[in-house]
Structure 1
Amino acid sequence: MNSHLPLKLLIELAQKDVDEAAKLLGDRQRQRAEVERQLEALKTYRHEYRSRMQTATQTGMAGGDWRNFQQFIDTLDSAIGQQQMLLQQAQDRLEAARREWQAQQRRLNSFGTLATRAQAREDLRVARREQKDNDEYAARATRRRADTSPL
């Protein structure tokens, strides 16, 4: 039974690692979703602002106002580009966290397999010992009967 104690400890530690990796994966998923939400908000705002600019252009607008609109749209485009880079980084971190969680899960599964095999070996050893004890008991009983039976 003592040989199972280190394996049990390894399984507990591996489970802790899986739990931590799962927590990190969840955090990364939330971070990616937030970055994506911000990107979509920027795109929506740009679209709305662009529509307002087109409406203002159709009704007539001073050149300075048009430049201000255009500069602001350029600023939004720059912000969208930066947000897209942040989204890619968030996606990369998410994928790395997913790979880490999968690796930790495989490690835990490996320890589980080892534990199952060890338990099977122990069960077989116990079964053999019980069979040997039963055989010895039957042999003694047969000898006793042979010793006590009249010839």
Structure 2
Amino acid sequence: GVGEPAVPTADEVLRTTVARCLPALTEPRLLIGVAALVHGVFRLGRSAAAFVAPPVERTDSDLRRTEGMFADHSPEHGDDQTLREAVTGLADLHGWWGGEVRWSALRQIRAVNHVLSGRPADGKPLSAAARLAGADDGWRSDEFT
């Protein structure tokens, strides 16, 4: 009929398969329960297979899109806290919440240098609102700047 799927759902196929494999199982609610257990075992099997599978190597461009342009740039003495301590008294720097070590200052400096040198930005995509932050007749951000 109209609005019905052209093929049976996965649950219907599974119930039919369980009914065919266990013909003595005739109670509909029990059949649904057994089919649900079988479905759970399949999901668990897929999860276990994904867990033990070797990790898939991500390309550099994939990493830049998710982690940022210079996410791999983490020099030993270049984290934000070390830089803050080094310029104490030269500039008034404000902190942030969080305990993890960050390298945002050096990474941002490298990203600005990269773009100002004429190379395209290729980091995390910016939101549409962030790309439209320029003046009405001025510069507009590219997707990755």
Q: TM-score, normalised by structure 1?
A: 0.22
User: Counting helix residues as a fraction of each chain, which structure ranks higher?
Assistant: 1
Q: TM-score, normalised by structure 2?
A: 0.22
Q: Relative contact order, CA 8 A, sep 6+: which one is greater?
A: 1
